[in-house]
Amino acid sequence: MRSWARFALLLLTAAVLQRGLLSQLRVADVSVDSFLLLAVAAGITGGGDRGAVVGFFSGLVLDLLVQTPLGLSALVYCLVGFAAGRLHGTVVRSNRALPALLAAVVSIAGVGLYAVIGELVGQVGAVTGHLPTIMAVVGVANLVLYPVVRPVVTWAWGDEPGLRPARR
Amino acid sequence: MAVSRRTGRSRFTLFLLILTSVTLLTLDYRGFEPIDRARSAVLSAFEPVGSFASDTFEPVRNAWNGAFSYDELAKENEELRLRVDELEGQITSGEVAKQSLRQLLEQADLPFVDNIPTVRARVISGAVSNFDRTIEIDRGERAGLRRGMPVVTGQGLVGRVVRVSGDRAVVDLLSGGNFSVGFSVVGTNVLGVVRGQGDGQRLLGTVDVDRLVSPGQIVVTSGVAGSTFPQGIPIGTVSEVGDDTGSLQRELAIDMLARQSDLSFVTVVLWEPTEP
């Protein structure tokens, strides 16, 4: 199976999970964002270029499921996927916990970026007093879930171990 | 050299993706019809999948809520018991209040929403993402629902239908702030516009600065010509009146009558705005 087909399958699974389960499992009225996690994981495992593409489609699927402006999630998640890949290329990779930490940090930044750009494009109430809670919960959730999602995303790339593209 | 070429290609890909996103944002902002159709198609496609996922994951959701919201549920249970006691004592006075509201609406020549056909619907899903302020209900085109129809509870306005498929519809909540509603203050000729603030029960209203409004007054949909809502749907009560700070508009804080959290059932008013 080609990697784009595997990612299509992953996106469909994420959509079903997000809609049927994850959006209902809320902590402090915040749910896990599986699409953001997918974008970040794709960036870290596949590099900035491929992370941006997966992030774009991941955001686009989310945009079609919700009522927020179409293209907003696609724009933010593509930047997040790109940033995750680029940043992962610049950090020392000897520490196994570092990618998960990076996933959390990039996710927090992604939520903040979403809120700011959202306000700019007319999404009323994106920047509220609840925003720090959303950032914190999504960050912690992605820190915990990244090690679970990483092998699945690596499978989706279909690269042989050791033959992944050089990180920039 | 190779690295430079790769970096250039990488930036080009990113640029193309950003450009596509911005184009989509622009088209959506301008109300590009195919985008609405695509969203409705996704809603239709997810009807069976969503129901299956919802049923399958119900035990997990219940376990989660039990584990993470036990204190909250216990507190809510206690509050509900108190509320039941309180309400039992207030049934009579509630009826009186309802009658008073009806009389006020009649005096103001506002037809009550009871006169318009309605459809009751169950809320089957809340917001999918953390910035989405919508709910999904189990009635759609087959039950007569159309885009733009008002959605209410027994207390008042909740939102409006924004997407419809055969047996599903998505309701944009008033508190989300994605649309505004024209209102009138009951018993007066004061008109204004109210909008959600993204979250919570409080709305932000504006009226002309020379209009007198007092805390405690009830606001209802105005239904003036070209309005997207019929007349007389209760919205909320004025809780604060802003100072006159030299502006042409005075701001009002309005507390919604209908609770937006924990919605289980809603009523869709089968009313479509008439073309001006």
pLDDT of residue B70: 66
Strand partners, B136: B125, B170
How far apart CA B188 and CA B211 sit, in angstroms, is 10
Q: What residue has token string 């991941």?
A: A58
Probe site for chain A from B12, B131, B160, B174 (most A CB atoms < 10 A): B131
pLDDT of residue A162: 43
The more confident residue out of A147 and B42 is A147
φ/ψ region of B6 (left if φ > 0, alpha if ψ in -120 to 50, else beta) reads alpha
Mean pLDDT score across all residues of chain A: 88
How far apart CA A95 and CA B255 sit, in angstroms, is 52
Contact A113, A87 (CB under 8 A): no
Interface contact B70, partner A, CB < 8 A: no
pLDDT tens for residues A46-68? 999 999 999 999 999 999 988 88
Report residue B236: phi and psi, to 5°.
-175, -170
Chain A residues close to B24, C-beta within 8 Å: 60, 63, 70-71, 74
What's the CA angle centered on A84, arms B128 and A89, to 5 degrees?
165
Enumerate residues 166 to 205 of chain B having a beta carbon within 8 A of any beta carbon in chain A. Answer: 170, 172, 176-178, 195-199
The more confident residue out of B258 and B19 is B19
Chain A residues close to B203, C-beta within 8 Å: none
Q: What is the pTM of this model?
A: 0.80
Q: ipTM of this model? A: 0.87
Q: How many CB pairs under 8 A join A and B?
A: 157
Helix and strand element counts for chain A (H, E): 6, 0
